[in-house]
Structure 1
Amino acid sequence: MTALVITTNYGVEQDELVKPLAALKEAGVPVTVAAASTDAIQTLVGDKDPGETVTPNMTLADVDPAGYDVLVIPGGTINADTLRTHDEAVALVQTFAKDGKTVAAICHGPWLLAEADVAGGKTATSYPSLATDLRNAGATWVDEELKRCEANGWTLLTSRTPDDLDAFSTAVVEAAR
């Protein structure tokens, strides 16, 4: 199994990128990080303070979704809001859902599910401020550490905040095994 993490080059919440990435690597899961460009990804801590930089392996436009089993969408308000404006990111989510694969999104990451029009009929969690957006996109929103939903022929894993990263990262690794 292989995993793909998608992000923009600025504004992703540091721990929501680096912790699932580290967990996948530690579990021996081949993982690729794709961003809008091949420039370094500048993470943020709490949406404001500069965090670590991460080097992407490729651009969103260069990803062949057929080569991956699990898609991971980290949050960060700036990242998530910008990522949903990238047609390539929207198309990746749509393809993973259509192909019956696993999509995992944390915090503000589920905004991309709404943009990709794949949230309908799913039960999901997110950062609380996205609850209305997800409901308007046809999802049932719940306030849980980790929500796994198998509806509509594909698996969705969602979590609320960086506080839920242990459960989220464990679920992502399990999905990629």
Structure 2
Amino acid sequence: MTLDGTNILFLTTNYGTEQDELRRPMEHLRAAGARVTVAARRHEPVLTVVSDRRPGLVVEPDTTLEKADAEEYDAVVVPGGTVNADRLRTDVTAQRLVAAFADAGKPVAAICHGPWLLLESGVAGGRDLTSYPSLRTDLENAGASWHDRQVVVDRSGGHTLITSRRPADLDAFAAAIVDALEESTRAGGRRTATR
């Protein structure tokens, strides 16, 4: 099974996104046949970082958070990077986008510090998830059950929630996103039209 005809939205700010947490899932999903769109706060280059300290690759966004519409996509992915995630979680447009995916029953995926946005979007409470370990208390205070595993997939809340801890977990994270989308297709889930 491939993800041909599937559209995936990545949310990011314009500075501080962990390079591999953006790049590697994008490559994995594209290799599986998905179309990937990067939405940033501004339609300017995304300056990624490596280990939150060193400059990483520059990524050109395809659209802005303001212009992105959850109805046009089959899943949303939130990469980490401490600065990126801290800025993204306070962005009301990003919060609304994540909530819209969840409300529509579409997969929501976040890695490392990305689950901060899940918390602020109201989709973490009552769910099993993981994150970078320093977020554990925040997520548990929001009503989530935190687990120290490379990937946690929770299907209990009307939509699939996929979370991982850190860049070392990226292969499992990307594979879980592909599995969730393939499962949705097998179950008769409707893919969005290719734009």
| 1:70–1:175 Cα contact (<8 Å) kept | no
Q: TM-score, normalised by structure 2?
A: 0.89
Residue of structure 2 aligned with 1:4, choices 9, 15, 18: 9
SS of the equivalent of 1:61 reads coil
Q: TM-score, normalised by structure 1?
A: 0.98
> How far apart in 2 are the matches of 1:4 and 1:174?
16
> How far apart in 2 are the matches of 1:59 and 1:155?
24
Deviation for aligned residue 1:175: 2.7
Runs (5+) with no aligned partner, structure 1: none
Question: Cα 1:176–1:31, aligned 2, differ >3 Å: closer, same or farther?
Answer: farther
> How far apart in 2 are the matches of 1:175 and 1:74?
17
> How far apart in 2 are the matches of 1:78 and 1:176?
29
Deviation for aligned residue 1:173: 2.3
Partner residue in 2 for 1:47: 52
Residue of structure 2 aligned with 1:176, choices 173, 178, 181: 181
Partner residue in 2 for 1:78: 83
Partner residue in 2 for 1:59: 64
Q: Percent identity?
A: 54
Task: Report the AA paired with residue 27 of structure 1.
Answer: A
Q: Which has the larger radius of gyration?
A: 2
Residue of structure 1 aligned with 2:117, choices 95, 112, 118: 112
Task: Report the AA paired with residue 119 of structure 2.
Answer: A
Deviation for aligned residue 1:148: 0.2
RMSD, aligned CA? 0.8
Partner residue in 1 for 2:161: 156
Partner residue in 2 for 1:34: 39
> How far apart in 1 are the matches of 2:132 and 2:25?
17
Partner residue in 2 for 1:20: 25
| 1:3–1:176 Cα contact (<8 Å) kept | no
Partner residue in 1 for 2:147: 142
> How far apart in 1 are the matches of 2:119 and 2:13?
17
